[in-house]
Amino acid sequence: MPNNSPPDLIRSRLREPADPALAKASVSVDFDKRLAPYDLAGSLAHAKMLGQVGLVSEEDLRLMIHGLQELSVEVAEGRFEWRAELEDVHMNLEKALTDRIGPAGARLHTARSRNDQVALDERLYLKDVVGKISRLIWELREALVKKAGEVKDTPMPGYTHLQRAQPVLLAHHFLAYYEMLTRDSGRLGDLEKRLHEMPLGSGALSGTGLPIKPELVAQELGFPDLSGNSLDAVASRDLLMEFLAFGAILAVHLSRLAEDMILWCSAEFNLAELPDSLTTSSSMMPQKKNPDGAELLRGKTGRTIGNLVTLLTVVKGLPMSYNRDLQEDKEPLFDTADTLELILPLAKAQVTGLKFNKSRLTELADDPYTPATDLADSLVLKGVPFREAHRQVGALVAYCVEKKISLAETEAEVLKRFCPQAEPDILKRLTLFQLLAARDKTPGGTAPKTVQLRLTRAKEMLAEEKDRRGAG
Ligand code: ARG
């Protein structure tokens, strides 16, 4: 198919047209057309700079600006006709510009390669996505804090190994997710700090000999710095990896939250219920109320992990500098961004909609054997080495389990037999309220007054972040 369309446009050195199999594999426009608004913004800034340094005439610059603006409108309105035979978003837009404005369009690619062009497009895209996702995380964190406030006084059984361990406050449980998501948000903020370098001017790999001023492009596009190494600028994808790693970690957090909700809403746990609007029924079993939203939150996590692994694998072992393998970076990038934009609001709706069975939570929190640790601790205060106290109380629990009585029901003389140093009325004093209240020794404990402090701090942080964003 030797016609004058790219990639033939750039195949003058080659004597044969591309093999159809290669031509087909080369196409990326189906997915990279999403970069069009960023590509056009980059081209506009580049064209202006070419005009300023005199590499294109004023008249050509006028034509370029007009043509690029026209293309932006067409792309935004979905009227632009993408052509697979033009391979990628960059060639499509450049060809369309040249078709419209003639030779001036053919000057746009002066001192530029698709290698630095795509690196720029991806940074611009990431800047946008980072902003959107950090707002969505903020909203979910706010929902978690609100829910924690709503259930402030409700205790629940705390688990390790999914076995009842010690009572905690339900608010403490929600604030645990708040902490995870606050760190996720911090990770995104770190990435944002590293998005400050503008790569255009790196050319295909070595820079350019033409008298350009990349700092003008950077200024126009809002980048404070320029890439410090042209090879790195076109070859590296670690910023994308960082985003995908951040996304996978965040999704794993949401998946754990989803799993908690799924367990809580089962008849076996019966700790919580989702509103009908957040559940589905079965095509066969009319009685079913299924937590599909939570399951999808959990299920969507798989692809975010896959996307990270895909990109790491694509880049691993690539020789310096640009290699076409790197074209495979986009689908994982877009997919993780889309997935996060989908699941963050879903998680927020789930958290907000959840209703708790408070009496059952309180009842289960008051487990017959959870005072065991505090009983052992009371012996420690009497001078018994902790390991010995642990042994004594373990033996007492085994006795109670066999006799089918709770620790609180233990007779004073039985207690004395197993734990000679124990205060006779200690078991009466180790109430649920006391177990919770005692956990005020560390800033992260579950004592109601400690949790209240954390709740207040979380609200302040959210408000500060909102103000900062409003101001920024
Ligand atoms: N579509 C290509 C990509 O995403 C653009 C860069 C092409 N560069 C090249 N030397 N073939 O990586």
Extract the tokens encoding 228. Answer: 């410090």
Please answer whether residues 105 and 23 qualify as being in contact, where contact means their C-beta atoms are separated by less than 8 angstroms. Answer: no
Q: Which of 22, 90, 118 to mutate to test the pocket of ligand 1 (most atoms within 8 A of CB)?
A: 118
Element housing 163 (H / E): strand 163-169
Q: 360 CA to middle of ligand 1, Å?
A: 59
User: Is 324 near ligand 1, meaning CB less than 6 Å away?
Assistant: yes
Number of C-beta neighbours around residue 415 at 10 A: 20
Report the pLDDT value the prediction gives residue 7, as an integer from 0 to 100.
65
What's the gap between Cα 146 and its chain centre?
21
Band (30; pLDDT cuts 50, 70, 90): very high
Question: What is d(CA 54, CA 71) in angstroms, rounded to the nearest whole number?
Answer: 24
Band (12; pLDDT cuts 50, 70, 90): confident
Residue 1 has pLDDT above 50, yes or no: no
DSSP alpha helix (H) spans, 317-447 = 330-353, 358-365, 372-380, 386-403, 412-418, 426-429, 432-437
Give the mean pLDDT of 46-56.
98
Residue 336 has pLDDT above 60, yes or no: yes
Question: What is d(CA 411, CA 100) in angstroms, rounded to the nearest whole number?
Answer: 94
Q: 236 CA to middle of ligand 1, Å?
A: 13
Question: What is d(CA 261, CA 444) in angstroms, rounded to the nearest whole number?
Answer: 23
pLDDT in tens, 155-184: 999 999 999 999 999 999 999 999 999 999
Please answer whether residues 184 and 137 qualify as being in contact, where contact means their C-beta atoms are separated by less than 8 angstroms. Answer: yes
52: amino acid identity, one letter: Q
Residue 274: helix, strand or coil by DSSP?
coil
Domains and CATH numbers, the chain: 20-110 (1.10.275.10), 115-209+224-364 (1.20.200.10), 366-471 (1.10.40.30)
User: Is 321 near ligand 1, meaning CB less than 6 Å away?
Assistant: no
Report the pLDDT value the prediction gives residue 472, as an integer from 0 to 100.
59
Band (378; pLDDT cuts 50, 70, 90): very high
Report the pLDDT value the prediction gives residue 6, as an integer from 0 to 100.
56
pLDDT in tens, 273-328: 999 999 988 888 888 889 999 999 999 999 999 999 999 999 999 999 999 999 99
Give the mean pLDDT of 362-376.
96
For the chain, the average pLDDT equals 96
Report the pLDDT value the prediction gives residue 142, as an integer from 0 to 100.
98
Least Cα distance to 391 among 375, 369, 414, 406 occurs for 375
Handedness of CA 6, 124, 126, 140 (dihedral sign): negative
Residue 9 has pLDDT above 80, yes or no: no
Report the pLDDT value the prediction gives residue 206, as an integer from 0 to 100.
98
Extract the tokens encoding 146. Answer: 């609100």
Residue 2 has pLDDT above 70, yes or no: no
207: amino acid identity, one letter: G
pLDDT in tens, 62-117: 999 999 999 999 999 999 999 999 999 999 999 999 999 999 999 999 999 999 99
Residue 272: helix, strand or coil by DSSP?
strand
Protein residue with its CA nearest to atom 7 in ligand 1: 114
CA atoms within 13 A on the CB side of 363: 8
Number of C-beta neighbours around residue 411 at 10 A: 10
Q: Which of 109, 206, 236, 327 to mutate to test the pocket of ligand 1 (most atoms within 8 A of CB)?
A: 327
Task: Judge residue 243's burial from the number of C-beta atoms within 10 Å of its C-beta, 0-12 exposed, 13-18 middle, 19 or more buried.
Answer: buried
User: Is 145 near ligand 1, meaning CB less than 6 Å away?
Assistant: no
- Residues of the chain with pLDDT > 90: what percent? 94
